[in-house]
A and B are shown apart, each in its own frame.
Chain A
């Protein structure tokens, strides 16, 4: 008997994410600002979750705004070195960012939640009640 492979869910997730690279889902509205930070969007039930990798940001530097179905994520990332250090490798980038995305569903702006943990910013976007699909009963 074959035992379930614990890495299979991760592999499947990676493949699923690959197939949604450059999906036209976000392109339906005008997105403004930069392309940093990169983000992924998931559907969870009827709601949407935006996941953004933003390691090493202080919460006070993050500014998230929601208006209609546009979400703006702005902030600053800083990288510091001690004064008398010799720098061998410098790969981490720092600076200000400001990105706005327009998602193709209506969001209940009052109920949007943001969580920052382990360098990951998660935005929980509940779909507006009037935007939810309704099943049509056949008579």
Chain B
């Protein structure tokens, strides 16, 4: 059971990484849920404003990197008068503890929510041992 939550404004967290980006524009950390079933690890990330073609998912060794870019040309000719949040590209990386079947990774982006399904590699799927 999971406890109910209240819907509240979550201040966007700015990405701070060890290496600096060469461009001064800010990156934000997407709000993410991660859950695991026997077969797969699933990441659900909120990337509002990111289109399908602007998502990049990379798995290098154990490190899963996700980057989402927004099309800021949509803001052309728009002059802000009031702001409660800032806009920017998204980036986040996770170190995976389980072995993942790289070929089976699937990604689905719908209404600004990216769902990444990472099937576990055969040896990581738990095996039940029957007690005789």
Residues in A lying within 8 Å of B, measured CB to CB? 5, 7, 9-11, 13-14, 16-18, 20-21, 23, 25-26, 34-45, 48-49, 53-58, 77, 79, 81-82, 84-97, 116, 118-120
Contacts and interface: CB of A to CB of B under 8 A. Distances in A.
Nearest to B43: A89
A55 B33 contact: no
B interface, over-half SS: loop
Contacts of A26: 82
Contacts of A9: 72-73, 75-76
B103 interface: no
B49 A25 contact: no
Give the contact-size bracket for chain B: 35 or more
10 contacts: A20-B80, A21-B83, A25-B82, A40-B85, A42-B78, A53-B49, A81-B2, A85-B35, A86-B37, A95-B6
Contact of A88 (B6, B24, B35, B49): B35
B46 A56 contact: yes
Given A21-B84, A119-B47, A89 B34 contact: yes
Pairs of residues from A and B, 8 with the lowest C-beta to C-beta distance, nearest first? A119-B112, A95-B7, A55-B112, A119-B48, A42-B78, A85-B35, A53-B48, A38-B84
A56 B25 contact: no
B10 interface: yes
Interface of B: 2, 4-10, 23-26, 31-38, 42, 44, 46-51, 72-73, 75-89, 110-113
A23 to B, nearest CB: 5
Contact of B83 (A20, A49, A93, A120): A20
Q: Which of B37, B83, B85, B111 has the most CB of A within 10 A?
A: B83
Contacts of A96: 7
Contacts of A7: 23-25
B85 to A, nearest CB: 5
A42 B75 contact: yes
